[in-house]
Amino acid sequence: MLLAFSTPTKVDVPLKHFIVSGRAQGTTYTIKYLYPDSLFLQDKVDSLLLVVDNSLSLYKTTSSISKFNASLRGTPIDIHLLHVVSASLGFSAETLNAFDITSKPISLLWGFNGPTPSTPPGPLQLASVLKHVGPHHISIRNDSLLKDDPHTMIDCDGVAQGYTVDQLSQFLLSLGIKDFMVELGGEVRTSGKSFDGKHWIIGLEDPSASFGTNSIVSKRVSLSGLAITTSGSLKKFKRLGNAYFSHIMDPRTGRPINNGIVSVTVIARDAITADAYDNAVMVFGIQQSFSRFGADPSIGFHIVYTKADGSLADTSNLRFKDFLLN
């Protein structure tokens, strides 16, 4: 005799929209996600942000990175600093040291996060500081981060927010949340679908409005499963004498960039990669960036720059154009 079994009917549980927001790393964060029920993530998110901050914050004297910078030969390393330094050493190799976390002594020399000099540093000062800069000065051995020069210091701010966005994204995925957008200080990572059932729409701020109180969206991109970050030279600079200098340094020369680039937006597989490459493109300039990364299928970049007449223009590689909506 044959027995007939009924096949259970799959019940689709409706997804609800949730938003978690707060402050961290001197800026704001927003997490948007879809899930059947609220998971009350605020405390867990804030706890994760605090752990990362205790590792990577240059403003905390007790953070892992601050202890390393104050040391003569190195210190034990926690898991977050290990991941960031390991990734950063790889980015340095990929970008011919246009991205280099050991460039902190250069930033200090120009008055960023340190005393402001009365005049721009001269050739002898630059040469003296550059001796302590370069990824070859640091190494990871077992559970320690070591340096061969007591004056070598690292600054992971160029990728810290991107890394944090990735950590928050991995946390959401570990909970079974597949549809989300994480934003911290303008750095974004996306997964799955947005609240309207389509890809997440991310707006790019118009650099010409950077000095105003309101942001103006100049372009929009459609993303899912990718990250997007932006680096700019307008919002943070120093005046030394009669000249203004960008906070973005070329680690190879010890000087602030001066190539006409106003901002760079990068799309990549994760936020730490996008963060590193938006810095590298800023340093390389337009021509060299297209030469090295223009045809790279994993890196999309959009550059806003100043023309000879002072007006703004923009350009993108083909990978970035794949995601542009306007």
> What element of type H or E holds 280?
helix 271-284
Res 234: pLDDT: 59
pTM for this prediction: 0.91
Residues 6+ apart with CB under 8 A from 266: 228, 229, 230, 274, 275, 277, 278, 281, 299, 300, 301, 302
Tens of pLDDT along the chain (326 residues)? 333 433 444 446 789 999 999 999 889 999 999 999 989 999 999 999 999 999 999 999 999 999 999 999 999 999 999 999 999 999 999 999 999 999 999 999 998 877 788 788 999 999 999 999 999 999 999 999 999 999 999 999 999 999 999 999 999 999 999 999 999 999 999 999 999 999 999 999 877 655 444 455 578 999 999 999 999 865 666 666 667 778 899 999 999 999 999 999 999 999 999 999 999 999 999 999 999 999 999 999 999 999 999 888 999 999 999 999 96
Taking residue 57's Cβ as centre, other Cβ atoms within 10 Å add up to: 20
Go through the domains of the chain in sequence order and give each one's CATH number: 16-321 (3.10.520.10)
Cβ atoms of residues 168 and 178 within 8 Å: no
